[in-house]
Structure 1
Protein backbone atom coordinates (compact mmCIF):
# COMPACT_ATOMS: atom_id res chain seq x y z
CA UNK A 1 0.00 0.00 0.00
CA UNK A 2 2.80 2.43 0.91
CA UNK A 3 4.54 1.67 -2.40
CA UNK A 4 1.32 2.44 -4.31
CA UNK A 5 0.95 5.76 -2.48
CA UNK A 6 4.62 6.57 -3.05
CA UNK A 7 4.29 5.79 -6.78
CA UNK A 8 1.13 7.89 -7.03
CA UNK A 9 2.89 10.79 -5.30
CA UNK A 10 5.87 10.53 -7.65
CA UNK A 11 3.56 10.46 -10.66
CA UNK A 12 1.73 13.52 -9.37
CA UNK A 13 5.01 15.38 -8.77
CA UNK A 14 6.22 14.52 -12.26
CA UNK A 15 2.97 15.82 -13.72
CA UNK A 16 3.28 19.05 -11.76
CA UNK A 17 6.88 19.48 -12.91
CA UNK A 18 5.91 18.91 -16.56
CA UNK A 19 3.01 21.32 -16.27
CA UNK A 20 5.27 23.93 -14.72
CA UNK A 21 7.73 23.58 -17.60
CA UNK A 22 4.95 23.91 -20.18
CA UNK A 23 3.47 27.10 -18.73
CA UNK A 24 4.79 30.60 -19.13
CA UNK A 25 7.52 31.58 -16.67
CA UNK A 26 6.67 33.55 -13.56
CA UNK A 27 7.74 37.13 -13.26
CA UNK A 28 8.89 39.09 -10.27
CA UNK A 29 6.21 41.31 -8.77
CA UNK A 30 7.22 44.84 -8.03
CA UNK A 31 6.09 45.63 -4.49
CA UNK A 32 4.03 48.79 -5.01
CA UNK A 33 1.80 48.56 -1.98
CA UNK A 34 1.75 47.38 1.60
CA UNK A 35 -0.72 44.62 0.71
CA UNK A 36 -0.27 41.36 2.61
CA UNK A 37 -1.66 37.85 2.30
CA UNK A 38 -2.73 35.94 5.38
CA UNK A 39 -2.18 32.19 5.16
CA UNK A 40 -3.79 30.47 8.14
CA UNK A 41 -3.66 26.69 8.52
CA UNK A 42 -6.13 24.84 10.75
CA UNK A 43 -5.65 21.47 12.40
CA UNK A 44 -9.18 20.26 13.14
CA UNK A 45 -9.90 17.22 15.33
CA UNK A 46 -12.35 14.67 13.93
CA UNK A 47 -15.88 15.59 14.87
CA UNK A 48 -15.10 19.33 15.11
CA UNK A 49 -15.31 20.12 11.37
CA UNK A 50 -18.72 21.82 11.44
CA UNK A 51 -17.88 23.84 14.55
CA UNK A 52 -14.57 24.95 12.99
CA UNK A 53 -16.34 26.01 9.79
CA UNK A 54 -19.00 27.93 11.74
CA UNK A 55 -16.29 29.66 13.78
CA UNK A 56 -14.39 30.61 10.62
CA UNK A 57 -17.58 31.96 9.01
CA UNK A 58 -18.35 34.07 12.07
CA UNK A 59 -14.80 35.46 12.06
CA UNK A 60 -14.94 36.11 8.31
CA UNK A 61 -18.26 37.94 8.62
CA UNK A 62 -16.78 40.21 11.28
CA UNK A 63 -13.48 40.80 9.46
CA UNK A 64 -15.26 41.68 6.18
CA UNK A 65 -16.55 44.81 7.93
CA UNK A 66 -13.10 45.96 9.01
CA UNK A 67 -10.99 48.61 7.31
CA UNK A 68 -8.36 47.13 5.01
CA UNK A 69 -10.11 43.81 4.30
CA UNK A 70 -9.92 42.86 0.61
CA UNK A 71 -10.88 39.19 0.22
CA UNK A 72 -10.65 35.68 1.64
CA UNK A 73 -10.90 32.08 0.47
CA UNK A 74 -11.23 29.01 2.65
CA UNK A 75 -9.79 25.75 1.34
CA UNK A 76 -10.64 22.26 2.61
CA UNK A 77 -8.20 19.37 2.33
CA UNK A 78 -9.89 16.44 0.54
CA UNK A 79 -7.48 14.04 2.29
CA UNK A 80 -9.17 13.10 5.59
CA UNK A 81 -5.75 12.17 7.02
CA UNK A 82 -4.05 15.43 6.01
CA UNK A 83 -2.48 17.51 8.79
CA UNK A 84 -4.32 20.69 7.87
CA UNK A 85 -8.06 20.27 7.40
CA UNK A 86 -8.64 23.92 6.43
CA UNK A 87 -6.44 26.65 4.99
CA UNK A 88 -7.59 30.25 4.84
CA UNK A 89 -5.98 32.66 2.38
CA UNK A 90 -6.98 36.31 2.82
CA UNK A 91 -5.76 39.56 1.32
CA UNK A 92 -5.39 42.71 3.42
CA UNK A 93 -4.42 46.26 2.48
CA UNK A 94 -1.62 46.22 5.07
CA UNK A 95 -0.25 44.30 8.04
CA UNK A 96 -1.36 47.17 10.30
CA UNK A 97 -4.96 46.88 9.06
CA UNK A 98 -4.91 43.12 9.65
CA UNK A 99 -3.49 43.47 13.18
CA UNK A 100 -6.05 46.13 14.13
CA UNK A 101 -8.94 44.11 12.66
CA UNK A 102 -7.96 40.89 14.43
CA UNK A 103 -7.51 42.72 17.73
CA UNK A 104 -11.06 44.09 17.30
CA UNK A 105 -12.30 40.60 16.46
CA UNK A 106 -10.71 39.03 19.55
CA UNK A 107 -12.27 41.72 21.76
CA UNK A 108 -15.69 41.34 20.12
CA UNK A 109 -15.93 37.59 19.46
CA UNK A 110 -14.58 36.24 22.73
CA UNK A 111 -16.65 33.03 22.55
CA UNK A 112 -15.67 31.98 19.01
CA UNK A 113 -12.91 29.45 19.75
CA UNK A 114 -13.43 25.75 19.03
CA UNK A 115 -11.81 23.37 21.51
CA UNK A 116 -8.99 21.36 19.96
CA UNK A 117 -8.64 23.44 16.80
CA UNK A 118 -5.07 24.64 16.28
CA UNK A 119 -4.54 27.47 13.82
CA UNK A 120 -1.30 28.98 12.61
CA UNK A 121 -1.70 32.37 10.93
CA UNK A 122 1.10 34.32 9.28
CA UNK A 123 1.35 37.25 6.86
CA UNK A 124 3.16 37.17 3.53
CA UNK A 125 3.90 39.52 0.63
CA UNK A 126 3.61 38.34 -2.96
CA UNK A 127 7.03 38.37 -4.64
CA UNK A 128 6.25 36.45 -7.86
CA UNK A 129 3.13 35.86 -9.88
CA UNK A 130 2.16 34.49 -13.26
Structure 2
Protein backbone atom coordinates (compact mmCIF):
# COMPACT_ATOMS: atom_id res chain seq x y z
CA UNK A 1 0.00 0.00 0.00
CA UNK A 2 1.49 3.33 -1.02
CA UNK A 3 0.47 6.93 -0.65
CA UNK A 4 -1.04 8.87 2.18
CA UNK A 5 -3.61 7.70 4.68
CA UNK A 6 -6.00 9.96 6.59
CA UNK A 7 -7.02 8.66 10.01
CA UNK A 8 -9.69 10.64 11.84
CA UNK A 9 -11.24 9.66 15.17
CA UNK A 10 -14.56 10.93 16.52
CA UNK A 11 -16.20 10.96 19.95
CA UNK A 12 -19.86 10.25 19.23
CA UNK A 13 -22.38 9.49 21.99
CA UNK A 14 -24.54 6.46 21.04
CA UNK A 15 -27.70 8.59 21.04
CA UNK A 16 -26.22 10.81 18.30
CA UNK A 17 -25.13 8.17 15.79
CA UNK A 18 -27.64 9.17 13.10
CA UNK A 19 -26.76 12.87 13.33
CA UNK A 20 -23.05 12.09 13.06
CA UNK A 21 -23.51 9.67 10.16
CA UNK A 22 -25.52 12.22 8.21
CA UNK A 23 -22.76 14.83 8.60
CA UNK A 24 -20.05 12.27 7.79
CA UNK A 25 -21.86 11.32 4.56
CA UNK A 26 -22.01 15.00 3.56
CA UNK A 27 -18.25 15.34 4.11
CA UNK A 28 -17.67 12.11 2.20
CA UNK A 29 -19.72 13.38 -0.74
CA UNK A 30 -17.69 16.62 -0.91
CA UNK A 31 -14.38 14.76 -0.89
CA UNK A 32 -15.48 12.16 -3.44
CA UNK A 33 -16.77 14.85 -5.81
CA UNK A 34 -13.39 16.58 -5.79
CA UNK A 35 -11.33 13.36 -6.00
CA UNK A 36 -9.97 14.19 -2.57
CA UNK A 37 -9.32 10.53 -1.83
CA UNK A 38 -9.27 7.14 -3.46
CA UNK A 39 -11.19 5.18 -0.82
CA UNK A 40 -12.56 5.48 2.67
CA UNK A 41 -13.81 3.20 5.43
CA UNK A 42 -15.72 4.38 8.46
CA UNK A 43 -15.35 2.03 11.43
CA UNK A 44 -17.58 1.88 14.53
CA UNK A 45 -16.33 0.49 17.83
CA UNK A 46 -17.99 -2.67 19.07
CA UNK A 47 -18.09 -1.30 22.62
CA UNK A 48 -20.67 1.50 23.07
CA UNK A 49 -18.53 3.10 25.79
CA UNK A 50 -15.36 3.41 23.65
CA UNK A 51 -13.89 6.92 23.74
CA UNK A 52 -13.57 7.02 19.95
CA UNK A 53 -16.65 5.22 18.68
CA UNK A 54 -15.98 6.10 15.03
CA UNK A 55 -12.70 6.02 13.13
CA UNK A 56 -12.41 7.01 9.49
CA UNK A 57 -9.52 5.60 7.45
CA UNK A 58 -9.13 7.04 3.94
CA UNK A 59 -6.53 6.66 1.22
CA UNK A 60 -5.69 10.10 -0.11
CA UNK A 61 -5.44 10.26 -3.88
CA UNK A 62 -4.12 13.81 -4.01
CA UNK A 63 -3.12 15.75 -0.91
CA UNK A 64 -3.45 19.02 -2.85
CA UNK A 65 -7.04 18.29 -3.93
CA UNK A 66 -7.89 16.97 -0.46
CA UNK A 67 -6.54 20.17 1.13
CA UNK A 68 -8.45 22.24 -1.43
CA UNK A 69 -11.70 20.59 -0.34
CA UNK A 70 -11.11 20.84 3.41
CA UNK A 71 -10.14 24.52 3.09
CA UNK A 72 -13.27 25.39 1.10
CA UNK A 73 -15.98 27.50 2.74
CA UNK A 74 -18.57 24.73 2.33
CA UNK A 75 -16.37 22.13 4.04
CA UNK A 76 -15.40 24.57 6.80
CA UNK A 77 -19.10 25.15 7.51
CA UNK A 78 -19.68 21.40 7.69
CA UNK A 79 -16.59 20.96 9.89
CA UNK A 80 -17.99 23.50 12.33
CA UNK A 81 -21.08 21.31 12.72
CA UNK A 82 -18.93 18.21 13.24
CA UNK A 83 -16.63 19.93 15.78
CA UNK A 84 -18.79 18.82 18.69
CA UNK A 85 -17.77 15.23 17.89
CA UNK A 86 -14.14 16.28 18.56
CA UNK A 87 -12.52 15.02 15.36
CA UNK A 88 -8.76 14.50 15.45
CA UNK A 89 -7.55 14.04 11.85
CA UNK A 90 -3.96 13.36 10.84
CA UNK A 91 -2.21 12.26 7.65
CA UNK A 92 0.07 9.21 7.74
CA UNK A 93 2.41 7.38 5.41
CA UNK A 94 3.42 3.73 5.64
CA UNK A 95 6.87 3.16 7.17
CA UNK A 96 6.62 -0.61 7.65
CA UNK A 97 4.38 -3.19 6.06
CA UNK A 98 3.98 -6.88 6.78
CA UNK A 99 1.59 -9.30 5.17
CA UNK A 100 0.76 -12.71 6.52
CA UNK A 101 0.99 -15.42 3.94
CA UNK A 102 -1.88 -17.83 3.85
CA UNK A 103 -1.15 -21.52 3.79
CA UNK A 104 -3.09 -23.79 1.49
CA UNK A 105 -2.87 -26.77 3.80
TM-score per shorter chain, which class? 0.7 to 0.9
Indicate which of 6, 11, 33 corresponds to 1:43. 11
Question: 5+ unaligned residues in a row in structure 1: which ranges?
Answer: 1-28
- For 1:66 and 1:80, the matched residues in 2 are separated by 33
Tell me which residue corresponds to 1:123: 91
TM-score w.r.t. the length of structure 2 is 0.78
Instruction: Look up the SS of the partner of 2:90 in the other structure.
Output: strand
Kindly indicate whether residue 22 of structure 2 is the aligned counterpart of residue 54 of structure 1.
yes
Contact persistence 1:95–1:123 (CA under 8 A) = no
Match runs of 1:1-130 below 5 Å = 35-104=3-72, 107-109=73-75, 110-111=77-78, 113-114=81-82, 116-129=84-97, 130=99
Alignment CA distance shift 1:98-1:111 (3 Å): closer
Question: 5+ unaligned residues in a row in structure 2: which ranges?
Answer: 100-105
Q: Which 4+ stretches in 1 moved above 4 angstroms?
A: none
Instruction: Look up the SS of the partner of 1:37 in the other structure.
Output: strand
Number of residue equivalences: 96
Q: How well do the aligned residues superpose, as a CA RMSD in angstroms?
A: 2.0
